[in-house]
Structure 1
Amino acid sequence: MSISPESPEITPEIATSKSPHTDYRQLDRTKLTPMYQHYVEVKEQYPNTLLVYRVGDFFECFFQDAVTIAQELELVLTSKDGGREIGRIAMTGVPHHALERYSRLLVEKGYAVAICDQVEDSAAAAAAGRMVERQITKLLTPGTLTDEGMLQARKNNYLAAVVIAKDHWGLAYADISTGEFLTTQSNHLSSLTLELLRLQPSEILIPTNAPDLNTLLRPGEKSDYLADCLPDCFCYSLRSQFPFTLNEAKPRLLTTFRVKSLEGLGCEHLPLAIRAAGGLLEYIEDTQKAYQVPLQPLKTYNIAEFLILDYPSRRNLEITQTVRDNSFYGSLLWALDRTVTAMGGRALRRWLIEPLLDIKGITARQNTIEELKENPTLRQDLRQLLREIYDLERITGRVGAGTANARDLLALAQSLVKLTDLSQLASLGTSPYLRALQKVPSELEILGKEVIGHLVESPPLHLKEGGVIRDGINFQLDEMRRLYEEDQQWLANLEVTERQRTGVSNLKVGYNKTFGYYLSMPRSKAEQAPDNYIRKQTLTNEERYITPELKERESRILNAKDDLNRLEYEIFAGLRTKVAEKAAEIRQVAKAVAAIDVLAGLAEIAVYQDYCRPEMVDGRLIEIVDGRHPVVEQSLGAGFFVPNSTYLGSLLEEQNYPDLIILTGPNASGKSCYLRQVGLIQLMAQIGSFVPAKTAKLGICDRIFTRVGAMDDLATGQSTFMVEMNETANILNHATSRSLVLLDEIGRGTATFDGLSIAWAVAEYLAAEIQSRTIFATHYHELNELASILSNVANYQVTVKEMPNEIIFLHQVRPGGADKSYGIEAGRLAGLPAVVIDRAKQVMTQIEKHSKIALGLRQGIEKVNPVKSKKSKDKLIEQLDIFEE
């Protein structure tokens, strides 16, 4: 857990008397120069940030901030003389054009960066004999980034705020680059943890009256309360509690969204949600300073609207990143992402972390995918046109905030014009999402054409350098350009004219910042200078002159250039404001564009990977015929993956499928892959996607739990087995009969008898008490006996072919239980020395002869709650005899 922003401590080597001063609070400020005095004043207003201060062409840091930035960015730390009474002042800086890159690095490390920029022309300030005026123009924090270069194009950058009251909590989150703004309220702190881990916000705001705040401020100390509700993998920013009070938050929301009641926003009776949203809104206003972020209307949601995936399950299924190295390659998102726009990429990621529970919503997506799958011409034409659409959401955000440049605006305009073609293509379809895309407001195309008509084809990056607006747009601008070009032409002809007039063939026209434009000739030809030449400077081999007409032209040229740039900027700003007024309409269309991009991509992959449309049904049925793992199949290539079927959750007479499958088989035979395969197919179906199977009929799951693989949690001092038990406990305490539970090797992290006992009890509880749909992969073959005791349990195995000196993995799941795990054979395949393999076989033979397993089960059989009937208990006692030698 990192608390951001927080001032770093002074390092010992910097704090010595011979080193530069680093703590401005210990200095006599009256002895500082005016610039340093202003720096200190600004720093005191933003004590918990790293302050970068514009000085000429650099952004400089002083005092302790200079030390911190030099260390974090590996820059050279220098110092500057502050006078005899002040001593040396620590100093480091970066070029102004590199600020974005260095700021991004600091923000990624959890720092907040305050940018103090010049807000007036330095020449004007110098002419007036005063210091250039500077102000904080922006605060950069992990959750408030909007610049394109600081964001991942295909991932939302969420800022969240949390308010906790006993066991209840309110959460608000926003992506200020796209304008999304949502809030919710619920109870149970464990569900808050799940929601934060689902959203993965870049920054979380906490009011200073949060429970147990003193412990939160010291991450090294333990806090059972906060450890349960605030994951330590996020960056937390502490805020004044005042903006998070109901009396302050509610009026702020009403004013911002211009409503008289929050009823229409869905949170009128959710006080904690209101407080979180109001506090988050205040933080955005405080950090953006000169810019007003155009947020979408606040949306209230319920965490029960989506299929719930806890963090271990999300990690084990590798939905957005892999377990091994947290990479995108090899994740489900990698396997499914065929989107061609950044908006579509972000939407697909959101769909994957928000699977639907509503069959109607799922069917609407399936209908669109099916139509696009069956109509390849329409699909390909849509995808080709989508490639020409820029990131409407984020560009609109920059336009609304007043930070979009001419290239942004032109890209937006070109996309708006393309929307008409996109709408016409969509009109060829009849499915829900294609119909939604047909409703593109005609005024957006008109606006796009107007912007294109105003801006040059290749505008410069910087707005105030001119060259942005086309000719013929503004009469005053055209006239100013004509006069400016005439003066420029006169200047261009001056050198030729004066050479002819003076007879000096090497006469030149030059320019420098001190004298402006001048005429130069060799000193040997000085006597040829005309009478109207005024000597301005004598150099070793050259004389420099000015003339009254040259100075007049120079004044006109320089002033005209500034006036031209100023007028162009005013025209551009007006155009940008006009576009900003349509932000809501553009974002609405952008949402439809993103959705059709996702669905067209899913249709594309359904065609080329031979996916089927799953039939979504009421009830608990999971019927997958020849299912395949979507990621492994793509990694192996077509034709190499062995499909397997799955039947769970139906107790109808004609379909007597079990609730729990005991899955046995050798190591490395594909049990874990099979478990994940079932979970991913269910997840894909509930986002509306087609699935990798021959056919599929699926009921809705409320939650998917996976316990696959093992790892230590050294940060909290938990062993592999303790992590396993924690995750298993979470499953048993939260699973329902509508959940899908996928367990792999429960109980393997402890002694054999302990592990078998736990595995038996867990499997029995899931089948008899919870009756969730479960696949329980294990090497404890004794668990196969559960199928003879409980009617809703079945045994399956991953088959192998035994040869005299080797085994061949067939990767086929078939009915029946395996009687051995071939672990020694797996060791041989891994390359263990032959002498070790032989000795292992000898030891195993002795163990099999003398082992007695689970003798204690008989004594406790009458206390086993899930096995309720006397007949079942008697049968279990009878079956336990097989465990004894």
Structure 2
Amino acid sequence: MAKKGHGWRFRKGRVLNDETLIAARPAEPAAPPPANAGATPMMQQYLEIKAVNADSLLFYRMGDFYELFFEDAEIASRALGITLTKRGKHQGDDIPMCGVPVHAADDYLQRLIGLGHRVAVCEQMEDPAEAKKRGSKSVVRRDVVRLVTPGTITEEKLLDPAQANYLMALGRVKGGDEPSLALAWIDISTGIFRVAATSADRLLADILRIDPRELVMAETVYHDPALRPVLDALGRIAGPQPTSTFDSASAEMRLTRFYGVATLDGFGQFSRAELSAIAGAVAYVEKTQVSERPPLGRPERDDESRSLFIDPATRANLELTRTLSGNREGSLLKAIDRTVTGAGGRLLAERLTAPLTDPSVIAERLDSVSFFLAEPSLRDQLRETLKGVPDFARALSRIALNRGGPRDLGALSAGLTAAREAAGLLGARDLPAELRAAVEKIEALPGELAAHLDRALADELPLLKRDGGFVRAGYDGELDEMRALRDQSRRIIAGMESDLIEETGIRSLKIRHNNVLGYYIEVTANNAQALNGSDEAKARFIHRQTMASAMRFTTTELAELETKIANAADRALGIELGVFERLVAEVVAASDALRAGAAALAVLDVSAALAVLAETEDYCRPQVDDSLDFHIEGGRHPVVEQALRKQLAEPFVANDCDLSPAESAKFGAIWLLTGPNMGGKSTFLRQNALISVLAQMGSFVPARQVRLGVVDRLFSRVGASDDLARGRSTFMVEMVETAAILNQAGERSLVILDEIGRGTATFDGLSIAWAAVEYLHEHNRCRALFATHFHEMTALSEKLGRLANVTMRVKEFEGDVIFLHEIGKGAADRSYGVQVARLAGLPPAVVERARAVLHELEEGETTGKAARLVDDLPLFTAAVRQEPEKPKKPDRLSQTLAGLNPDEMTPREALEALYRLKEEAGRQRS
């Protein structure tokens, strides 16, 4: 479609580039723009602004469009699927160009941010009419008002309601044997600001626990070869920033300026590395938000000792928040999420990714769930109330950043109203400690602000403040008058006309309007004497125009009314914008209390949601203490159980697990689990790890009874994968992950290992697995589940006192294997791999040959067996050439059975037939 005021055309179209290639493309800075010698004034301005923002795509505002030029345009056209066109020339070459409409910019920003790009938004800072006053060739002033990056977005359309959007900064201070490291993370959309010390060996695990959308660090840190493995694992979310912004020495000055305080004494004590991370995060926020200041909370220390350590491989293997394919569907979070608010969903995810290690705090959370489980009616009322709570923490952030609109104020108003209702439901109850603290924060929300917002805001609110109409009628007298003038000018003029007729007695008097005179009073020439016949009349009625048969006048009152009518719309909008700014100021002043109230509502939502989960899924309350117990009765896999019920309508087979220390033992037990493929070993391993995670996050768990001594570190090595980008085979990855477990696990750890050693030769793998179990038993002394197909390892139970053999039970029936999915004491004598291969659909000839090879290998020593098997080649010749068996002649018993029709037999006939069949069977046996 043609764009007004330009000699070029903009069309939306398709590109032929493979979108997968676009998505895989790293978010590298665009090349620097060409020199601006000889450029038009507008292009000179563009090049100057682009030079300052070389690492971002520049959205350059031109009327109703954001335009992109040069390489920015080429990148955006591929990423967004829009037509690349051109505008004029620069240094003799065409200037590539593409653009997006301002009103739809959020949609395009979402796609660019999703691909890892950063965008600098450049707005017109004055009206084009103002620019023309400086000369016909003057260019409208423009400037970058914000940088849009993955970690700093606040737009509702760009954010996942149930997922935090963290910007993280990595601080490093050299000194001593090893540099000190710290992480600071901010969610600009909610104001969360936290900091934690870390170390090189757990850096990746800590970053993945927070799961930031963007990670920034000093250039020197970014280019440090020692950190390259971590940054490679993170991909393109990591990026460098000037080293000066991470200076711990100037951090205090930066923070006091940002928060408007004289000293940081009230913030607590932070290490130099923590100050470096905090300063880097704040500097990046200031850079991206330009002149706006988000309402961030003060940085709070996140104590690593209070949360369960889960290494990156374990976090991926257990699929806590995403499956291995990256989907939320199929994850533990999806299976347990019953929250009804976005804030509640984010808090649930936060608790799941950072389970606690303090039994007293875990008990407080479980008390909250127990309370709502015992009060179903109250819980349902509360959840119904919470459904009406908008995400007012994010609305607050948009308002403070001057990106909010009337609906954000409306969200705050609705949120405060719902918060009062929630507090009213719970306030008079005898509540557990966590819920009582939440209610107190809700009760501390500013009631006068809630009342003011309710009084000021209309019921129906526009998206943008510039549209007006968001202030409630009756709130401001002058605004009501302006609206009346704007909307009811004809009625007001008619009223004045009626008053003048009554006053002058001239029945033909009219108030009319034209574009030359505006509003005027018109009377016939015969009646004009009444309006200008005396000095008093002349003083009031001012003559404007004489016609052949009429005369026209005005009055001071009519002139003032005309001015008011002409300016009413602009004045009404101006009054509304003034009201908006005053309300925004009140909201920002109360931001601390509002954030606390929003967090308290999220606590109520999570507690009530976990109670619903426990009730609907039949979960029990775990007993969590400081012992080394690990006793689970009737444990179930929370994700698999729901999938079986939904897809196959089948029940899940529950199993016990007891890794608790025996009376004579000081440390927890190790279970050596054997059994067939598809028997359920991996499911059993994972479900026990997930039960421990759920228990320590403060949730009820899928079991009949659970007694759990706090786990401080959780390790899981389940499944097979390679890392070809780093030159690691599947077996190498397996060994690296196993090494990490053996080097870090302690007596309070829970270790889950599945099929260690399977990626290499049989005897090599058996030797490694054997030695690993011995090391877990003697050195790590942790609680562990170790699944293996090396049946020879079951002999270790005679040597290792805390090792117990358990197996997945199966039944064989007429050559088929039936998986019972039950755990029992003892060891499996075989793996049933050939039966599983047959179930998978391998050709019958392959299955039969496999049976023969297996039988040959299982007969005594294997020495020389392989050579003899090779002599049998070609393997499948006999199977291929074998003629089909001739159908056997039916025996008399079969013929007798075939002749029976039970539906037509009397009970006596049926009994007689049964005797005949028994007699025939006896003859055949003899």
SS at match of 1:438: helix
SS at match of 1:662: strand
Identity %: 38
Alignment of 1:432-581 (within 5 A): 432-439=433-440, 440-441=442-443, 444-487=446-489, 559-581=567-589
Instruction: Work out whether residues 417 and 445 of structure 1, in 8 Å CA contact, stay in contact via their aligned partners in 2.
Output: no
Deviates more, 1:284-293 or 1:114-123: 114-123
Equivalent of 1:592 in 582, 592, 600: 600
Asked whether 1:148 is paired with 2:131, we answer no
SS at match of 1:646: strand
Asked whether 1:194 is paired with 2:205, we answer yes
The equivalent of 2:634 in structure 1 is: 626
- Structure 1 CA distance for aligned equivalents of residues 667 and 832 of structure 2: 29
- Structure 2 CA distance for aligned equivalents of residues 317 and 766 of structure 1: 21
SS at match of 2:809: strand
SS at match of 1:840: helix
Alignment of 1:424-439 (within 5 A): 424-427=424-427, 428-439=429-440
Shift of 1:645: 0.1
Shift of 1:155: 0.5
- Structure 2 CA distance for aligned equivalents of residues 81 and 650 of structure 1: 80
Deviates more, 1:118-127 or 1:760-769: 118-127
Shift of 1:489: 5.9
Q: Gaps spanning 5+ residues in structure 1: where?
A: 10-22, 214-222, 494-508, 519-530, 535-546, 854-885
The equivalent of 1:871 in structure 2 is: none
The equivalent of 1:385 in structure 2 is: 385
The equivalent of 1:78 in structure 2 is: 85
- Structure 2 CA distance for aligned equivalents of residues 378 and 190 of structure 1: 47
Equivalent of 1:722 in 706, 728, 732: 732
Deviations 1:437-483 (A, max 9, x none): 33133663332221121111111111112112122222222232233
Deviations 1:192-232 (A, max 9, x none): 1111111111111111222645xxxxxxxxx4542146633
Shift of 1:93: 0.5
- Structure 1 CA distance for aligned equivalents of residues 692 and 815 of structure 2: 39
Asked whether 1:287 is paired with 2:264, we answer no
- Structure 2 CA distance for aligned equivalents of residues 410 and 392 of structure 1: 9
- Structure 2 CA distance for aligned equivalents of residues 434 and 383 of structure 1: 14
- Structure 2 CA distance for aligned equivalents of residues 304 and 261 of structure 1: 28
- Structure 1 CA distance for aligned equivalents of residues 434 and 384 of structure 2: 18
Alignment of 1:220-369 (within 5 A): 223=225, 225-228=227-230, 231-259=233-261, 261-262=263-264, 264-268=266-270, 270-323=271-324, 325-369=325-369
- Calculate the TM-score normalised by the size of structure 2: 0.80
The equivalent of 2:657 in structure 1 is: 646
The equivalent of 1:183 in structure 2 is: 195
Instruction: Work out whether residues 112 and 142 of structure 1, in 8 Å CA contact, stay in contact via their aligned partners in 2.
Output: yes
- CA separation of 1:595/1:272 partners in 2, compared to 1, >3 Å: closer, same or farther? same
RMSD: 3.0
The equivalent of 1:7 in structure 2 is: 29
Instruction: Work out whether residues 371 and 429 of structure 1, in 8 Å CA contact, stay in contact via their aligned partners in 2.
Output: no
Amino acid at match of 1:628: R
- Structure 2 CA distance for aligned equivalents of residues 443 and 488 of structure 1: 46
Equivalent of 1:172 in 179, 184, 196: 184
Shift of 1:548: 12
Equivalent of 1:671 in 678, 681, 685: 681
Amino acid at match of 2:600: A
Asked whether 1:684 is paired with 2:720, we answer no
Instruction: Work out whether residues 658 and 794 of structure 1, in 8 Å CA contact, stay in contact via their aligned partners in 2.
Output: no
- Structure 2 CA distance for aligned equivalents of residues 711 and 443 of structure 1: 51
- CA separation of 1:775/1:252 partners in 2, compared to 1, >3 Å: closer, same or farther? same
Asked whether 1:68 is paired with 2:75, we answer yes
Instruction: Work out whether residues 246 and 277 of structure 2, in 8 Å CA contact, stay in contact via their aligned partners in 1.
Output: yes
Instruction: Work out whether residues 648 and 657 of structure 1, in 8 Å CA contact, stay in contact via their aligned partners in 2.
Output: no
Alignment of 1:397-412 (within 5 A): 397-412=397-412
- Structure 2 CA distance for aligned equivalents of residues 459 and 411 of structure 1: 10
Instruction: Work out whether residues 629 and 659 of structure 2, in 8 Å CA contact, stay in contact via their aligned partners in 1.
Output: yes
SS at match of 1:210: helix
Shift of 1:491: 10
The equivalent of 2:221 in structure 1 is: 210
Shift of 1:168: 2.4
The equivalent of 1:700 in structure 2 is: 710
SS at match of 2:249: helix
- Structure 2 CA distance for aligned equivalents of residues 158 and 776 of structure 1: 36
Instruction: Work out whether residues 4 and 235 of structure 1, in 8 Å CA contact, stay in contact via their aligned partners in 2.
Output: no
Amino acid at match of 1:710: A
Amino acid at match of 2:684: Y
The equivalent of 1:418 in structure 2 is: 418
Shift of 1:532: 9.0
Asked whether 1:92 is paired with 2:98, we answer yes
- Structure 2 CA distance for aligned equivalents of residues 54 and 826 of structure 1: 63
Deviates more, 1:732-741 or 1:247-256: 247-256
Matched residue count: 784
The equivalent of 2:14 in structure 1 is: none
Shift of 1:658: 5.8
- CA separation of 1:752/1:73 partners in 2, compared to 1, >3 Å: closer, same or farther? same
Shift of 1:260: 5.3
Amino acid at match of 1:233: G
Amino acid at match of 1:288: Q
The equivalent of 1:45 in structure 2 is: 52
Instruction: Work out whether residues 331 and 639 of structure 2, in 8 Å CA contact, stay in contact via their aligned partners in 1.
Output: yes
The equivalent of 2:858 in structure 1 is: 848
SS at match of 2:447: helix
Asked whether 1:743 is paired with 2:745, we answer no
Shift of 1:118: 1.6
- Structure 2 CA distance for aligned equivalents of residues 830 and 4 of structure 1: 40
- Structure 1 CA distance for aligned equivalents of residues 702 and 275 of structure 2: 43
Please tell me whether Structure 1 or Structure 2 has the larger radius of gyration of its CA atoms: 2
Asked whether 1:734 is paired with 2:744, we answer yes
Shift of 1:102: 0.8
Asked whether 1:709 is paired with 2:719, we answer yes
- Structure 2 CA distance for aligned equivalents of residues 652 and 662 of structure 1: 20
Deviations 1:50-104 (A, max 9, x none): 1111111111112221122112212111111248x64422211111111111112
Q: Gaps spanning 5+ residues in structure 2: where?
A: 1-22, 496-512, 520-543, 548-552, 864-926
The equivalent of 2:502 in structure 1 is: none
Instruction: Work out whether residues 184 and 195 of structure 2, in 8 Å CA contact, stay in contact via their aligned partners in 1.
Output: yes
The equivalent of 2:531 in structure 1 is: none
Shift of 1:255: 3.2
Shift of 1:345: 0.1
- Structure 2 CA distance for aligned equivalents of residues 822 and 232 of structure 1: 40
The equivalent of 1:25 in structure 2 is: 34
The equivalent of 1:767 in structure 2 is: 777
- Calculate the TM-score normalised by the size of structure 1: 0.84
Asked whether 1:604 is paired with 2:606, we answer no
The equivalent of 2:893 in structure 1 is: none
- Structure 2 CA distance for aligned equivalents of residues 516 and 162 of structure 1: 70
Deviates more, 1:243-252 or 1:254-263: 254-263
Asked whether 1:812 is paired with 2:814, we answer no
Instruction: Work out whether residues 647 and 658 of structure 1, in 8 Å CA contact, stay in contact via their aligned partners in 2.
Output: no
Instruction: Work out whether residues 469 and 568 of structure 1, in 8 Å CA contact, stay in contact via their aligned partners in 2.
Output: yes
Shift of 1:37: 1.4
Deviations 1:626-655 (A, max 9, x none): 1111111111127610000000031215x9
Deviates more, 1:242-251 or 1:818-827: 242-251
- CA separation of 1:533/1:106 partners in 2, compared to 1, >3 Å: closer, same or farther? farther
Shift of 1:557: 5.3
